[in-house]
Amino acid sequence: MKCSKCSTDNPNTKKFCRKCGTKLLLACPQCGAEILPDDYFCGDCGHKLSLPSEAPSRKDLSFDEKLEKIQKYLPKGLTEKILAQRDRIEGERKQVTVMFCDMEGFTALSERLGPEEAYSIMDQVYEILIHKVHDYEGTVNEMTGDGIMALFGAPIALEDAPQRAIRSAYAIHREMSRFNDRMKQEKENLPPLKMRIGIHTGPVVVGTLGNDLRVEFKAVGDTVNLASRVEGLAEPGTTYITGFTQLSEKLGPEEAYTIMDQVYEILIHKVHDYEGTVNEMTGDGIMALFGAPIAIEDAPQRAIRSSLAIHRELAKFNDKIRQDKENILALKNAYRYPYRPCSCWHLGQ
């Protein structure tokens, strides 16, 4: 039996707490009335004390009720836009740009300053991240341990979602640099805090998930997983974007998909030319196997030859694209922004 005053666990036979001396009272789980240890039924409501009380049933919420619970995480004015397009939002498959931000060195910071002061700093970092996402009409989908996951193009579609995500990443790096300058004046020997940011564009399924106890607006799909992996590759203080995001930012999603179809054709053919098998189609690349399911003695050599053939074909493809689109960069080259962000191209580089 747990004491209501000091929370000490006491044997059921005891009438007073062995730590603080408070009288121990048993309460009926159904109505809260006082009961005795040897009672089988509550004297007030008749509840059988040997049975667990029924847990309150979870209520399925309407779209409006879910929105009311999550709107505190949405930028100002976005709630009205969601209500205007509510019929096209719930459980919808959408083209979205996903951005993951993660702060480098939070564990070391906690060890140096202590958890309380480190979390106080992290609160200020979260404020920077959230504001710079909202400034470009993105939504913070998830708060990670020392960063965020943000969506651009969901729940409200944005034609220039990739551009907005990249500009938001710009703003985050700029603001973090200013934040570091302020922190240096307040705290000596504090290491600079830098964000790793990964951005990928692709299809996801978005919608509100949960019930009356917990409601979240979630994005689900391979696009989210790939964006997270890209963020893990980024160096502190940089933003990595995938090749498809680069194309979408330059040309728009429809034309980017047209180009990616041609790129996939090159990849698949050059894998098959050397008796490999395409095991998986990633967001903007492939995973290929040489030596499975059919064993090949010279599998490593075939994989190398296939990769060389891919690079040769992509070089030819780049020449063709340059003739058609004067402003597009070569697909194999890094796409650089201020603060040293660059693209992460998944075609065997």
Tens-place pLDDT, residues 143-158: 877 889 999 987 777 8
Which residue carries 């309407």 as its tokens?
62
155-164 tens-digit pLDDT: 777 888 999 9
User: Both 257 and 109 in a single domain?
Assistant: no
User: Both 184 and 299 in a single domain?
Assistant: no
d(CA 44, CA 29): 12
User: Both 93 and 228 in a single domain?
Assistant: yes
Contact, 138 vs 131, CB < 8 A? no
275-307 tens-digit pLDDT: 999 887 766 678 899 988 888 889 999 999 999
DSSP helix/strand/coil, 35: strand
Residue type, 325: K
**Is residue 204 in some structural domain?**
yes
Indicate the range of 80-89, 92-101, 191-200 predicted with least confidence. Answer: 80-89
The overall average pLDDT reported for the chain is 75
Q: Is the pLDDT of residue 118 over 80?
A: yes
Number of domains in the chain: 3
User: Both 224 and 97 in a single domain?
Assistant: yes
Q: Is the pLDDT of residue 334 over 50?
A: no
The terminus-to-terminus CA distance of the chain in angstroms comes to 64
d(CA 205, CA 187): 44
Indicate the range of 175-189, 233-247, 275-289 predicted with least confidence. Answer: 275-289
**Is residue 248 in some structural domain?**
no
**Is residue 289 in some structural domain?**
yes
User: Both 69 and 197 in a single domain?
Assistant: yes
How confident is the model over 317-326, as a mean pLDDT? 70
Q: Is the pLDDT of residue 115 over 90?
A: no
Is residue 293 reached through a cis peptide bond, with omega within 30 degrees of 0 on the bond before it? yes
User: Both 219 and 73 in a single domain?
Assistant: yes
User: Both 198 and 322 in a single domain?
Assistant: no
Beta-bridged to residue 143, according to DSSP, are 148
Q: What percent of the chain has pLDDT over 90?
A: 21
pLDDT band per the 50, 70, 90 thresholds, residue 336: very low
d(CA 40, CA 208): 44
pLDDT band per the 50, 70, 90 thresholds, residue 141: confident
For the whole model, what pTM was predicted?
A: 0.60
User: Both 97 and 188 in a single domain?
Assistant: yes
Structural domain range at position 13: 1-55
User: Both 200 and 70 in a single domain?
Assistant: yes
Quote the pLDDT of residue 107.
75
Q: Is the pLDDT of residue 208 over 60?
A: no
User: Both 172 and 71 in a single domain?
Assistant: yes
Question: For the domain that residue 297 is a member of, what is the CATH number?
Answer: 3.30.70.1230
Q: Is the pLDDT of residue 56 over 80?
A: no
The CA-CA-CA angle for residues 270, 273, 274, to 5°, reads 100
